[in-house]
Every structure is written in structure tokens, then in C-alpha cells.
Structure 1
Amino acid sequence: MTDTLSPNKDAYARLLEAIDHGVYRPGDRLVESELAKRFDMSRTPIREALQRLETQSLLTRDGRSLIVASLDHNQLAELYVVRAELEGLAAGLAARQAADEEIRVLRQMVEEDRAHLGDPEALSRANRRFHHQIHKASRNRYLVQQLDLVHRSMALLATTSLAAEGRDQAALDEHDAVVRAIEARDPETAAAALKAHISKAFETRLRLNAESESTD
């Protein structure tokens, strides 16, 4: 299997990227020797990266093997509660702190991302870029660190909620509302709009999970 991931990153970053991009999905077994061959690395940095990911609960034990973790219903609910609060805070701070240039980049992202309608995977990548840009525009390094941790856990979701029918257009409309509030330098409205966006994403996720369970 050809490695299409970033070749210049360390073992931890490359494994994290592989999980984030869906190369390894919840339930997949990670074998140290196979990873060392794939990434063309010795087994020592791979072993250290696996231990670090296990400590962060991104990997879990299945007997003696490590597998990519999955989130149960309660963990999913807890994750979205924290995400909504932190993302809302970031949007509110961005409305206060962001440079005009940063706000123009957010506006460009919303307009350009419309080209990805109908392509859930491309839109999912664009969605991550959009949210990360808001995180940076908050100008709060400690908040950005916490949001990075939250988004790492989001990688444990096997599918994107943007694949649900009609969700892609609705999500972009919600992004537009967030940016309009940031452009207006209205932190309360920006925070509320982003929290509402996360709430809709959670609602869609729950519906997708329920539909998946009904067909099992």
C-alpha cells in the first residue's frame, strides 16, 4: 500500500494524520511492524507514537493488540457539548480579535467551499480548514490547543455528517452566518451562530447513527 501521507512528519503526526484522513478507521488494528514498513521508519518511533495515541484515548486495547478507538453514545454527546462551547468561544473571540485580513480569508473560504457541494469528503476537509481558521483568529493559544484535542477525537467518527442529504448546503449556510457575525464584530451573535452550527451537526450525527443501527 502506497503511503500518500505527509512524508516529512514524525511517526506520531503521520499516524494522527492517517486516522484523521480515514486511512485507519475505528476498529482497525494497528500493527507495529506493518506501520514501520508503511512509513519507512524503525519500530521504536512507531512504538512510541502508538503509546502516545493510546494515552490520548485515540487507540484502545483489544487483547494484546491496539485498535483505533470508537466513541459510544455518551462519549459522542460529551464531545459535542465540549466542542460547542469551545467553538462558540473561539468565534466570539475572533469577532473581537481577528484582523480584517483573517476575516476576508474566512469569507473567501465560505464562497470557495460551495464548489465542494455534493462531495462530502472534500467538503469535510474544507470544513476542518474553516474551523481551524476561526480557531487561529481567536488569538488564544490555550483555546487553540484544547480545540486541537477535541478535533483529534472527532477523527474517531467513521463518517462525516456532511454526507447526510441536504446537510452540505445547510452547513455552508451556517458557516456564512458565523462569518457575517464576525464581519459585524458581533461576538455574541458569532458565538451563538457557531454553537447552533455544532448543534445541527450533532443532531445530524445522531440521526445517521440511528439509521445505521436500524440497518445492522
Structure 2
Amino acid sequence: MRQTDSHTDSARARLRNLIVAGAYAPGQRLTETEVAESLEMSRTPVREAFRALVSDGLVRSAGRGVQVVALDAAALRDAYQVRAALEALTAELAAVRQAQGRIAPADLAALVGDAEEAESATLAGEFERAVGHNRRFHTRIAELAANPVASAALDRLWDQIVVSTRASLEPPHRPAHVNAQHRELLAAIREGRAADAAATARAHVMDTLGEGSD
């Protein structure tokens, strides 16, 4: 990898993390000079990072800089619908691979651990930690599906949804229901029940849209 590419990748990753973490608010305008100074980098990799993040749907071009994107209600619903379809697919594929004996026990144990950590954090009222473990749980299912196209698309959708909903995030109104759905999804994957895994994953995502969190 060329040094220029390495710097661009670093700028993209660091800026993405800042946006997803809420350091830059939806609607905020960013300039190359401002971000370059903040990241202590030259403007060239920042310019390339802006272009990449436009493609990722996290920012849009705005004059000589970019603006952090916030999905409106209609676009957010669209994003959740696509996320539901993709998570149903990855849950189904993971269950199929489990039924075929293609998932290592250690990987399945890690998935169980993610679900337990998410539930523990939710019950303890540690919402920020719960959100992180929740995303890790769903991300690991996508990894177990072994479909990199679906995983990459889901990662971009998660980022867009998090950025657009962070300001209104609150603990789930029905934490027991959320945790029960995680356990149901986990059981379906562990037992290789592909159709049940897909249906549970889809319902869970659309319930999340109704909750306005998770």
C-alpha cells in the first residue's frame, strides 16, 4: 500500500469514528482545513476521506467542504427496511452455516458472549455500553454469515442510522422484549433453524424502528 493510500485510509477511519461517535453533529459543516488541523494531517488525505465518506452516505458535499448527513423520517424508515432485509439474510445464512457445521464453536461462543454483554448492560442501565454490545452482536452475525457484501452494506447502514438517531437515543421502552428477541435469534442460529432466524431478525429490526432505539 502506498503511503498516500495509508494516510487516506487513516483519515477516513478517524473521521468516520468521530462522526459516528457524535463529535460532529448532523448538519454540521466540515472544511478540509478544519479537519486536517484536528487530525494533524495534510489536506490531501482529508479531501480523499471526504469523497469516501460521501460514498458511504455519512456526509454530503457542501461548497468547499462537506456536511454531516441526517436522514429524515422517511429516509430513516427506508434505511431500517433495508437493514431488516439484510439482517434477515445474514441471520439465515449464519443458521445455514451452523447447520452445516461450518461455524467454529469459539465463534458461536463469542456471539453468545455479545448477547449476554448487551443484556447485562441494558439491565444495568448502562445504555451507551449496551448500544455498543448490541451492534457487536449484530455485526458478528453478519460475519458468521460469511457474505462480505452484506456485511459491508450493513455496516454503512448502521453508521447512517446511528448518526441520524444519536440525538434522540434513549433506553428501549421494553428492554425485556429486546433481550428476549436476542435470545430467540441466538437460539435459532445455534440450532440451525434458518427460516426462524430470518423471521426473528427481520421482526427485531422493525420493532427497533418502532422503539426509536437499540
TM-score normalised by structure 1 residue count: 0.83
Q: State the aligned residue count.
A: 200
Larger CA deviation: 100-109 vs 39-48 = 100-109
Distance (Å, rounded) in 1 between the aligned partners of 2:32 and 2:201? 40
Cα offset for 1:28? 1.8
Trace 1:139-178 onto structure 2 (pairs within 5 A).
139-159=146-166, 163-178=170-185
Distance (Å, rounded) in 1 between the aligned partners of 2:81 and 2:70? 17
Partner-residue secondary structure (3-state), 1:10: helix
1:107 aligned residue (103, 112, 117): 112
Cα offset for 1:161? 7.2
Aligned residue in 2 for 1:49: 49
Distance (Å, rounded) in 1 between the aligned partners of 2:137 and 2:143? 10
1:187 aligned residue (194, 197, 202): 194
Aligned residue in 1 for 2:129: 122
Kept in 2: contact 1:124–1:162 (CA 8 A) = no
Aligned residue in 1 for 2:18: 18
Larger CA deviation: 103-112 vs 191-200 = 103-112
* Aligned partner letter, 1:187: A
Kept in 2: contact 1:57–1:69 (CA 8 A) = yes
Q: What 5-or-longer segments of structure 1 have no aligned partner? A: 1-6, 209-216
Q: CA RMSD in A?
A: 2.3
* Aligned partner letter, 2:108: I
Distance (Å, rounded) in 2 between the aligned partners of 1:161 and 1:102? 33
Q: CA separation of 1:24/1:167 partners in 2, compared to 1, >3 Å: closer, same or farther?
A: farther
Distance (Å, rounded) in 1 between the aligned partners of 2:180 and 2:57? 33
Larger CA deviation: 81-90 vs 49-58 = 49-58
* Aligned partner letter, 1:19: I
Q: CA separation of 1:82/1:180 partners in 2, compared to 1, >3 Å: closer, same or farther?
A: same
Distance (Å, rounded) in 2 between the aligned partners of 1:87 and 1:46? 32
Kept in 2: contact 1:95–1:183 (CA 8 A) = yes
Distance (Å, rounded) in 1 between the aligned partners of 2:18 and 2:79? 21
Q: What 5-or-longer segments of structure 2 have no aligned partner? A: 1-6
Instruction: State the Cα deviation string for residues 84-117 of structure 1 (Å, max 9, x = none).
Output: 0000110011111141332222112222223312
Distance (Å, rounded) in 2 between the aligned partners of 1:83 and 1:165? 19
Kept in 2: contact 1:121–1:160 (CA 8 A) = no
Cα offset for 1:124? 1.0
TM-score normalised by structure 2 residue count: 0.84
Partner-residue secondary structure (3-state), 2:166: coil
